[in-house]
Chain A
């Protein structure tokens, strides 16, 4: 059982008032709120142990280095990786993707192919476009069906021995669709295609095990995992990370520097140039503890129940037009209301205290394919309730009546 009172009380921000209304925070796909366990950790870090890591001999540096590496261990266990060397700290999902899309250029030549899908976030499109431009590789795009699922037949058609890497989102931040990663990976393996998974939307909402998924790369952001902004994770299989050249140069990532030649540090330091977001990385481990205390299995069930309740309500509105109707969905609902602009709805909801996202949610090509200028997106987290969903629908029909 989830101790709901305890969870809510860890998030003081949920008591914020907007326009005299209680805040209803339904923008969890953009960023999740941070519990006091996380914010206290950041405060304590700066009050008690702020120092640079891996370099000093002094007391503060030692404890910070220890906590930092402890956090790496925690992430490793959390995602079921085999070794700590496989966990690279980055700035976020976007940074993780850019790292691989840059370093992987070493293995690409003109005529090779990179495969992504139509439902990708701009972060999982643009770095690959840059990579293709640099190397002469071609960017191929797998179609999405009208339900909002990856067209597996099309994926099979596009995969071939020139496909060097495939990069697909685990869960779509717009459609909510949970993609069949195991199935996709199996198909990719036939051609020795490397598999990169954007786990930004998955990591806080279901148990992820990178070893079981058998992917080569997996990445996510701490700020969508009840952790702080500015911290991300790149998981990569050791044998592949070993072969990739460094992404950025600087302190920490070297073994020996001379003006003639520099030798690089071992994994994972090779990919961690410069002073990292130390307090953020340490706080991330508190976010993971917070989630593990609740249990990801229960979180998944709870959020599925929320989505179910949401769908029962939305099905009753004849003017509700859902975007993304896969049966295999995470707790993300994008939609439009007939004949009104998403922006108008967003403004009115905002004034009623409901925080949703409006626009294209960084998936312009996906919206364009379905001829949508934009949508409204409600996305749920562990602290949301059925009551909030009821209030949301009250506000939605009020807004619709005002506009239509």
Chain B
């Protein structure tokens, strides 16, 4: 099991403790309220992700052989979802990120609560994360 899969499984397990959507959302909102490591100088259009109803900025850094992701949104719930994604993808190697399958989103039952446009927004975020990983991989040669 790659470490990306491991983190995903942990998240699925954690969220399976909640019985209804309200509790899941409360959890996301709590995550969204947490302080995050995001430098506001990246709040520029070039870091904005298209296709989200709320604004999402995302940038990535390389630390040794791992990538860290930093993202911010003006909507709390979106910030919560971002926090989950960052848990999964930060401090992972480019290869693990590029090859990862994202089953946890379906498993935690989040997608069914997102409308098509919102689900698209989530997909754009994931796509951008993978694009960063591909970029770093190429740079590293």
Residues on A lying within 8 angstroms of B by beta carbon are 19, 340-341, 343-344, 346-348, 350-351, 358-359, 373-374, 402-403
Contacts and interface: CB of A to CB of B under 8 A. Distances in A.
Interface of B: 21-22, 25-26, 29, 53-55, 74-78, 113-115, 118
Most chain B beta-carbon neighbours within 10 Å: one of A19, A341, A351: A341
Given A341-B74, A343-B54, A347-B118, A402 B26 contact: yes
The A interface, classified by DSSP as helix, strand, loop or mixed, is: helix
A373 B115 CA distance: 20
Nearest to B77: A344
Given A359-B53, A402-B25, A351 B76 contact: no
Contact of A341 (B21, B22, B54, B114): B54
Given A19-B21, A358-B53, A373-B55, A344 B113 contact: no
B107 to A, nearest CB: 19
A351 B75 CA distance: 17
A350 B77 CA distance: 13
Given A350-B115, A359-B53, A343 B75 contact: yes
A25 to B, nearest CB: 15
Given A347-B25, A347-B118, 19 more contacts: A19-B21, A340-B76, A341-B54, A341-B77, A341-B78, A343-B75, A343-B77, A343-B78, A344-B75, A344-B76, A346-B53, A348-B25, A350-B113, A350-B115, A351-B22, A373-B55, A373-B74, A402-B29, A403-B29
A347 B77 contact: yes
B80 to A, nearest CB: 10
A343 B73 CA distance: 11
The 10 closest A-B CB pairs, nearest first, are A341-B75, A343-B54, A343-B75, A344-B77, A343-B53, A344-B75, A344-B76, A341-B74, A347-B77, A351-B21
A358 B78 CA distance: 15
Contacts of B115: 350
17 contacts: A341-B76, A341-B77, A341-B78, A343-B77, A344-B54, A344-B76, A344-B77, A344-B78, A350-B113, A358-B53, A359-B53, A374-B53, A402-B22, A402-B25, A402-B26, A402-B29, A403-B29
A340 B54 CA distance: 12
Nearest to B118: A347
A350 B26 CA distance: 15
A348 B113 CA distance: 10
Nearest to A350: B115
Contacts of A358: 53
Contacts of B114: 347
Given A373-B55, A403-B76, A347 B26 contact: no
Nearest to A351: B21
Nearest to B117: A359
A11 to B, nearest CB: 22
Nearest to A358: B53
A30 to B, nearest CB: 13
Contacts of B76: 340-341, 344, 403
B113 A351 contact: yes
A103 B54 CA distance: 38
Contacts of A340: 76
B51 to A, nearest CB: 13
Nearest to B121: A343
Contacts of B29: 344, 402-403
A26 to B, nearest CB: 16
Contacts of B74: 341, 373
